[in-house]
């Protein structure tokens, strides 16, 4: 056997290695240094350094174990009694405990960092999520439920459920479900057929829920129609009684999903479940919007967490994997592909964390009119934009590993499967585009958008950025001039998606510019400047089409 042959026989690919998720994240560290007042930064920096180590050493193995040990539905006990147990893995339970200990939800409500509490909380969530087997999903709903109870809960709910939802003690930490979807649809919830019958000062719920995520939660927020009412109301319920028995809830089955394998998602039958009205009767959708506006931001944060994880793994691999005589990273086209992913990730990161900043300001009474108005628009924008980018980036990451990316036990395919759900749940891209359009038409969100961009651009003074500043201002003007026509368009709203994507990109560009200026001046680092430059090359404004004529063409193209 000659020497060459031996080399070939002994060849094994070196797997990608995960580095410290906080220490290795230049953007996160720089963003926090820029955004948080110094004492808050010191606190966050220390905690995230410690937590990053825990993610690596403790959470990541648990996450892989939970992903490969899906929940099981046990409908009956051995003696024929209906029990409807959902058995989850020990790893999944540990991820619950870690979430409590780390205060992933509690941080947002303790508000120790005042208006910056949501930024700090989102930084922890962003590190937690990619190694949580999507335990972030129950946490999202828990956070949303806590917010609704904080705003609309009865005194009893505030003294009990709210404290459990925001607890740091794993023994008392509750999670909440958010049961909005019925067989009639997940987007148009007005078709909800669950009925609430009055029983003294309480209600009993009757109906079927078609998708209920994290069905092992202790409580849920759900929509139902009070008998005789036209509009939906919002209800609070506890799944089990004091003896631990399900309260007139049957689990029909667990869903067999494309991804989110560790997360139990069930179809339920409600047959007289005791429930309490939350908020105003008939204002269920408006009240639960406070919940899904939080879960939508979690969705964005988790999308960027996944982007970062995928790119980090791919980058590490590209330094080790040799093809055509050199490491992948030394191939110009490969480096360019990864750099493009990094640029897109940074744009998504900044709009997400900007939304978290505005949410924290809003909740602590520190947001001005422009910031509050912008937040209403920003929530659907960041959700839809980051979810779409998340799927595209995950797909590119998988491809960057070649065949290995397609192999289950590398742990890579789950990145794509789990990213895909982020574009579906909590409102699809089109539903959120229409929500953004509604905010522009009904709530003057377009005006706040323009004021926000103008304000941010006014703070850009660095000479190296002035040419690029013009590009952003011009893109903003182009979109704004289209508003008038868009607002008049009543029925079709075909422009909604391209408008939402354009607004997202313009906002992201302005935030990248703010980051670039700070980084040039305070860190003497031109990396963010280059990120901005490359982001702008991708173009900011989509074709803003939308007319009767266009719709006719679409139908003709589709052959109908």
- Please report, as ranges, the residues that interact with ligand MFK according to CB under 6 A: 136-137, 140-141, 178, 180-181, 186-187, 189-190, 213, 285-286, 289, 292-293, 295, 298-299, 302, 425-427, 431, 435
Closest approach of ligand MFK to the CB of residue 125, in Å:
9
95 contacts 74 by C-beta, under 8 angstroms? no
Closest C-alpha to 506, from 293, 351, 312, 300: 351
Using alpha carbons, list the distances in angstroms from residue 110 to 90, 103, 341, 474. Answer: 29, 9, 35, 42
184: number of Cβ within 10 Å:
13
315 or 378: whose CB is closer to ligand MFK?
Answer: 378
Closest approach of ligand MFK to the CB of residue 98, in Å:
16
299 or 515: whose CB is closer to ligand MFK?
Answer: 299
176 or 400: whose CB is closer to ligand MFK?
Answer: 176
Closest approach of ligand MFK to the CB of residue 179, in Å:
8
Structure-block tokens of residue 471: 């590009």
Closest approach of ligand MFK to the CB of residue 25, in Å:
19
Residue 35, helix vs strand vs coil: helix
Rounded-to-10 torsion of CA 122, 124, 126, 129: -120
Cross-strand bridge partners of residue 274 = 204
Closest approach of ligand MFK to the CB of residue 136, in Å:
4
185 or 402: whose CB is closer to ligand MFK?
Answer: 185
372 or 547: whose CB is closer to ligand MFK?
Answer: 372
16 or 21: whose CB is closer to ligand MFK?
Answer: 21
Tell me how far apart the alpha carbons of residues 205 and 268 are, in angstroms, rounded to a whole number.
Answer: 12
Residue 94, helix vs strand vs coil: helix
142 or 515: whose CB is closer to ligand MFK?
Answer: 142
289 or 541: whose CB is closer to ligand MFK?
Answer: 289
Tell me how far apart the alpha carbons of residues 378 and 500 are, in angstroms, rounded to a whole number.
Answer: 10
Closest approach of ligand MFK to the CB of residue 262, in Å:
13
- Torsions phi, psi of 275, nearest 5? -150, 155
Closest approach of ligand MFK to the CB of residue 301, in Å:
8
Closest approach of ligand MFK to the CB of residue 263, in Å:
9
Using alpha carbons, list the distances in angstroms from residue 465 to 190, 377, 457, 459, 461. Answer: 48, 27, 10, 11, 7
Closest approach of ligand MFK to the CB of residue 462, in Å:
36
141 or 536: whose CB is closer to ligand MFK?
Answer: 141
142 or 528: whose CB is closer to ligand MFK?
Answer: 142
Closest approach of ligand MFK to the CB of residue 215, in Å:
11
302 or 307: whose CB is closer to ligand MFK?
Answer: 302
Structure-block tokens of residue 244: 């631990």
Closest C-alpha to 294, from 217, 197, 359: 359
Residue sitting closest to ligand MFK (CB): 425
Using alpha carbons, list the distances in angstroms from residue 88 to 102, 135, 279. Answer: 21, 12, 33
Structure-block tokens of residue 249: 């809830």
Closest approach of ligand MFK to the CB of residue 406, in Å:
24
Tell me how far apart the alpha carbons of residues 227 and 229 are, in angstroms, rounded to a whole number.
Answer: 6
Closest C-alpha to 224, from 275, 286, 163: 275
Structure-block tokens of residue 462: 């660095």
Q: Where are the alpha helices (DSSP H) in 131-207?
A: 136-152, 155-159, 161-165
């Amino acid at each position: 056997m000659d020497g060459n042959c031996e080399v070939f026989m002994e060849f094994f690919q070196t797997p990608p290695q995960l580095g410290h998720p906080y220490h290795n994240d230049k953007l996160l560290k720089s963003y926090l240094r820029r955004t948080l007042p110094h004492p808050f930064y010191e606190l966050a920096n220390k905690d995230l350094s410690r937590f990053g180590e825990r993610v690596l050493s403790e959470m990541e193995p648990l996450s892989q174990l939970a992903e490969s040990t899906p929940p099981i539905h046990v409908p009956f006990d051995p003696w024929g009694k209906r029990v409807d147990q959902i058995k989850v893995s020990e790893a999944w339970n540990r991820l619950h405990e870690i979430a409590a200990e780390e205060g992933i939800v509690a941080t947002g409500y303790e508000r120790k960092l005042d208006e910056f509490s949501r930024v700090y909380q989102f930084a922890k969530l962003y590190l937690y999520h990619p190694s949580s087997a999507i335990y972030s999903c129950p946490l999202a709903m828990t956070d949303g439920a806590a917010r609704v109870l904080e705003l609309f809960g009865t005194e009893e709910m505030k003294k009990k459920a709210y404290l459990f939802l925001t607890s740091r003690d794993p023994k008392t930490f509750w999670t909440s479900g958010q049961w909005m979807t019925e067989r009639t649809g997940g987007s148009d919830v007005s078709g909800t057929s669950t009925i609430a019958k009055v029983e003294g000062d309480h209600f009993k719920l009757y109906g079927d829920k078609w998708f209920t995520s994290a069905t092992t939660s202790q409580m849920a927020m759900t929509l139902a129609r009070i008998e005789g009412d036209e509009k939906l109301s919002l209800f609070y319920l506890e799944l089990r009684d004091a003896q631990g028995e399900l309260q007139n809830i049957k689990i029909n089955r667990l869903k067999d999903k494309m991804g989110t394998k560790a997360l139990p998602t069930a179809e339920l039958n409600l047959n007289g479940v005791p429930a309490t009205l939350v908020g105003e009767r008939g204002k269920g959708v408006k009240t639960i919007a406070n919940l899904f506006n939080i879960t939508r931001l979690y969705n964005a944060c988790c999308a960027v967490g996944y982007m970062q994880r995928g790119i980090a793994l791919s980058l590490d691999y590209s330094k080790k994997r040799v093809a055509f005589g050199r490491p992948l990273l030394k191939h110009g086209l490969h480096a360019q592909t990864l750099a493009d992913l990094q640029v897109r990730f940074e744009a998504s990161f900044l709009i997400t964390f900007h939304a978290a900043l505005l949410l924290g300001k809003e909740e602590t009474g520190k947001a001005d009119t422009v910031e509050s108005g912008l937040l209403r628009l920003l929530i659907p924008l960041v959700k839809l934009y980051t979810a779409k980018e998340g799927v595209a980036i995950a797909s590119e990451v998988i491809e960057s590993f070649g065949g290995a990316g397609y192999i289950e036990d590398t742990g890579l395919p789950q990145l794509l499967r789990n990213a895909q759900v982020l574009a579906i749940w909590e409102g699809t891209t089109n539903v959120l585009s229409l929500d953004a359009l509604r905010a522009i038409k009904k709530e003057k969100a377009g005006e706040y958008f323009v004021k926000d961009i103008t304000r941010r651009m006014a703070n850009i003074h660095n000479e190296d950025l002035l040419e690029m500043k013009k590009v952003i201002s011009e893109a903003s003007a182009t979109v704004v001039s289209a508003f008038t026509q868009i607002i008049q368009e009543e029925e079709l709203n075909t422009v909604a998606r391209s408008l939402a994507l354009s607004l997202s990109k313009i906002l992201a560009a302005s935030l990248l510019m703010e980051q670039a200026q700070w980084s040039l001046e305070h860190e003497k680092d031109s990396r963010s400047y280059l990120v901005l430059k490359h982001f702008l090359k991708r173009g900011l404004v989509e074709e803003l089409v939308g007319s009767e004529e266009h719709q006719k063409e679409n139908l003709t193209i589709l052959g109908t």
